[in-house]
Structure 1
């Protein structure tokens, strides 16, 4: 704050300092309209009431609908599980920042945002941001930290959607509930995230609107299933009494049969006959309720996750699950891009503008995994294209694999063999080469012969070392298959043999030069 006498927003307009120093605006009130105590419209819900709740929400009164969305998420195990999976799947993705360019000032802007991200403020708020997946929108209130060095968010507080209403004109702009009216959200105090599963009004695009119908019908099914189990899951007890039994004796008999288990009991006189119609296929009839409830759960899985294989066990689950996982990854990328589109202008641009002033371009905030080739494909490409001349920085491969550069003096694993330095000719050959370059006399025959013999011995020794290793494999292998595997694993070093061959080639070249000189001089 001490850096500027006037703070400008990304649009270049001065910012009211109450945006930083003022108290939080969207806080709960004990007796006001922003009560933390919620209603429960899911109690005794009927199709007619549900339709009325949806119509009211589309007309601008979304309180009952938002309370119903909260109820469903709390009461339905399956909906809570799949919706929580989708929220957590995106909220745990990596968050990165890209500078607008390589200019020093743009790099400084990006570094400021990166340093703030390390504080974990955004990580703690991403899950709450994705509350919009179910309800259509979510609101976070920013608590700005304004010390002399920088102005950054100290916290991002989730605010209950029930504390907001939509404007009267478009029915699509959330406004803060007040005692007798509603006010616009502060331009730099709130983050408004919209999650649209369909085009149209924000309040009609949340997944809870569709899921509420499946939840209600499933609730009817579960209630009927509970009644069925109560009636047919326990035996009926019959107590018989004599015609002369007193009322006290009847009461004792009733207590006996009623206290055995459940409510399915009766007492009748022995002279009476009571017939019970037994349900022959009780187990089969119970499957109807289970199948209907499972079918509703699968529809909710498709609604929230786009597929069912990752939540339900099905035939061919492994192969089908891999395909369905791709569908879930598509939703993950879409959710991440939507969150990035919200946070970039409403958070990153403000941080940069408050600290460096308005900019023409701002850093990019990216949420999600980078679209990269699988590691196996990269390794195969390097293995095949490397010998063809493809080059790539080792640091890029380390970053892709998640490895860091080895510290000085650290114990190392792996690495390529050291390159063999081409050997220099022996001192005798160097002397002979200088003599030939000066058109000197023909080298003594005995010197050439001695050098040739020495090179032959070197080559023979180097080749013998390679042959000995191969011979040992064939002598110890039980069969040809084992010998082939052992040969493939040999790490034969041809350095000594290559050295001898290079010396021989150098000598042959020098001898050829000597012969040419002899011919020129007529020797």
Structure 2
């Protein structure tokens, strides 16, 4: 092996990691701007604390970020070799084994924390297993432990070096989310949502204050010009106390009046909160229909858009796959093979599911056009295993609920194994009746064509058809049908009597 991994833990958990200063408490525009400017200067601790509070305190914001992360976590994935060579496949097998480390799902979730905060770091704890270097655990490192120097390099703050140390290679996984070009400090979506979070926080507080005094009359205390200072103080305390106690004792020279307030709606607060939620949903999910269905949206439209916009989901998957390939697969191959050639790929299956019914109609149409489609391709397309030799298969269903309709010529071609003279007579008479019916049917069709041609509108055609049906000469057809039924009945009875006579019954 060309290199050996760093086995000691570098980002050791410190006692100070447990303490928070809660910077969003009493958040004001001046305080928020100061936190953001301080992060631009490299000190990101307060910004990361604020982002963590925002995700924790705002249920809507936390739900949106969780949806964005779960959209990736819910996907299947696989390890693909760099090419089809045996060496590439051997290295891919090693990576597959390495991806079985403890807490893989937690590591994926921790790295996706970069979506909100701009970056997320996990430390790789290497171990030896049967002579191979593999990851044992990849725990998350608190983002407050990092700072950036004047050159933009990320540094890890330790107890021995408060100004931070440069991160050693092949030891940390650094996942960055770039909502915009520039510093990782400004790349997270929570930075874009910070102002809307503050405005929403103001609206919620004002709404709660409004609900507390909603409908309560304004108390106005009046005193006469000759009232003493003591009387005025008693009156002021009485006005303040009467809101909660509903009782007060005042002198006869003072007066308390109740002025009823106008019953205004609380919609401005609700609208501002809805606006903030919609803006944050647009920033995080890429659309708002699945998060807030208003008067202009619908549940069906939300389902069409999906939980997360498809291009954002694909970007998250590709960025996370590149982080694993660069910070985990590369050192893993280096430690075990001595070089970094033929690095495997992490492939997330983020493709949206196909509409199999539409695909079925497409293949059916192509087949009817005469296009030759390989049978194996159809089996693979619809995920149906090809039946083996002798394996029972489902019989194709007949059109019309399993009933097959045959023409007269097709029926004539079918003969029973044993000829029945009576049945032959009936078939012969049926053919004669069908031939005899051709003339009146042809005349009716010609007359019907003339009726359709002379009609100028659908309503006129409807009226003429009703009159045509009433005046249609149906007597020849009725007579032919009656004769056919009567003859079939006679031949049938005669056949039964002949069979009875032959059997001696």
TM range (shorter): 0.5 to 0.7
Does residue 277 (structure 1) correspond to residue 259 (structure 2)? The answer is: yes
Counterpart Cα distance in 2 of 1:217 and 1:161: 26
Q: Give CA deviations for 1:289-335 in whole Å, capped at 9, x if unaligned.
A: 11111111111111111211111122341353245438622211111
Do the aligned partners of 1:99 and 1:362 also contact (CA within 8 Å) in 2?
yes
Q: Which residue, 178, 197, 202 being the options, matches 1:215?
A: 197
Do the aligned partners of 2:11 and 2:156 also contact (CA within 8 Å) in 1?
no
Alignment of 1:29-48 (within 5 A): 29-30=14-15, 35-48=17-30
Q: Relative to structure 1, is the Cα distance of residues 414 and 150 closer, same or farther in structure 2, using a 3 angstrom cutoff?
A: farther
Matched with 1:461 is: 416
Do the aligned partners of 1:98 and 1:363 also contact (CA within 8 Å) in 2?
yes
Q: Which residue, 305, 308, 313 being the options, matches 2:293?
A: 313
Counterpart Cα distance in 2 of 1:462 and 1:159: 86
Matched with 1:295 is: 275
Counterpart Cα distance in 1 of 2:198 and 2:352: 40
Does residue 141 (structure 1) correspond to residue 123 (structure 2)? The answer is: yes
Matched with 1:206 is: 188
Do the aligned partners of 2:387 and 2:393 also contact (CA within 8 Å) in 1?
no
Q: Give CA deviations for 1:100-134 in whole Å, capped at 9, x if unaligned.
A: 22212212222222344356743331111111011
Do the aligned partners of 1:140 and 1:159 also contact (CA within 8 Å) in 2?
yes
Q: Which residue, 364, 371, 374 being the options, matches 2:355?
A: 374
Per-residue deviation, 1:51 = 0.7
Per-residue deviation, 1:167 = 2.6
Per-residue deviation, 1:377 = 3.4
Alignment of 1:156-195 (within 5 A): 156-169=138-151, 171-180=152-161, 181-195=163-177
Per-residue deviation, 1:61 = 0.8
Matched with 2:342 is: 361
Q: Give CA deviations for 1:473-510 in whole Å, capped at 9, x if unaligned.
A: xxxxxxxxxxxxxxxxxxxxxxxxxxxxxxxxxxxxxx
Q: Relative to structure 1, is the Cα distance of residues 232 and 398 closer, same or farther in structure 2, using a 3 angstrom cutoff?
A: same
Counterpart Cα distance in 2 of 1:147 and 1:463: 81
TM-score when normalising by structure 1 = 0.66
Alignment of 1:443-454 (within 5 A): none
Does residue 325 (structure 1) correspond to residue 298 (structure 2)? The answer is: no
5+ unaligned residues in a row in structure 1: which ranges?
1-6, 9-13, 239-250, 418-456, 472-523
Do the aligned partners of 1:93 and 1:368 also contact (CA within 8 Å) in 2?
yes
Q: Give CA deviations for 1:440-494 in whole Å, capped at 9, x if unaligned.
A: xxxxxxxxxxxxxxxxx99623899xx9xxx9xxxxxxxxxxxxxxxxxxxxxxx
Counterpart Cα distance in 2 of 1:270 and 1:103: 101
Deviates more, 1:116-125 or 1:35-44: 116-125
Matched with 1:338 is: 319
Q: Relative to structure 1, is the Cα distance of residues 128 and 390 closer, same or farther in structure 2, using a 3 angstrom cutoff?
A: farther
Q: Give CA deviations for 1:207-234 in whole Å, capped at 9, x if unaligned.
A: 1112111111111111111111111256
Per-residue deviation, 1:69 = 0.6
Alignment of 1:435-446 (within 5 A): none
Per-residue deviation, 1:204 = 0.8
Does residue 26 (structure 1) correspond to residue 11 (structure 2)? The answer is: yes
Counterpart Cα distance in 1 of 2:301 and 2:393: 39
Do the aligned partners of 1:165 and 1:174 also contact (CA within 8 Å) in 2?
yes
Secondary structure at 2:137 match in 1: strand
Alignment of 1:373-452 (within 5 A): 373-386=354-367, 388-392=370-374, 394=376, 401=382, 414=394
Per-residue deviation, 1:71 = 1.0
Q: Relative to structure 1, is the Cα distance of residues 164 and 295 closer, same or farther in structure 2, using a 3 angstrom cutoff?
A: same
Secondary structure at 2:315 match in 1: helix
Counterpart Cα distance in 2 of 1:353 and 1:405: 43
5+ unaligned residues in a row in structure 2: which ranges?
221-233, 398-411, 428-505
Matched with 2:468 is: none
Deviates more, 1:314-323 or 1:186-195: 314-323
Matched with 1:501 is: none
Counterpart Cα distance in 1 of 2:199 and 2:46: 19
